[in-house]
Amino acid sequence: MSDTPSLIGKAVPDFSAPLTSGKTFSMSGSKGRKLVLYFYPKDSTPGCTTEGQGFRDAITEFEAAGCDVIGVSRDSLKSHENFRAKQAFPFELLSDPDEKVCQLFGVMKLKNMYGKQVRGIERSTFVIDAEGVVRAEWRGVKVPGHVAAVLAQVQALG
């Protein structure tokens, strides 16, 4: 169980950050469409690749539900561009090297890696409605079955 307070029912503060394809994301600019923001630890690692492929493979269903999908990690735009191209992701990846967006969503955690404590992104997903309010969140995500659960939540928003 996470000790991070829930964001459900809270409006997401406006922020902007660089995306792949030379674009810039802004929260205020995404109003009017539902949004899935999924935070993942690192480009091109097994779990993160599998998770991204799941969103890729379900993108037509997300789009049919009026929902954009954006992956977020601390990796550089160059790393993101390579990861996105290699996996043929049809959605943008947001680069957050200074952890500003990660802090807004409370996804930075101390984790044990090979017996050492390291700070990293806790795999987390947020469903944000067309008004910019968080409607669902998952923290400490296990990848199998996750994308289907997120899609069901998006579709339930109508």
Phi, psi of 90, deg, nearest 5: -90, 10
| Cα Rg of the chain, angstroms | 15
Task: Please tell me which residue in 48, 67, 101, 121 is annotated as part of the active site.
Answer: 48
Measure the CA–CA gap between 92 and 80, rounded to whole angstroms: 9
Helix axis angle for 77-87 and 46-57, nearest 10°, is 60
Element (H, E) at 24: strand 24-26
48 catalytic residue (yes or no): yes
Active site residues: 48
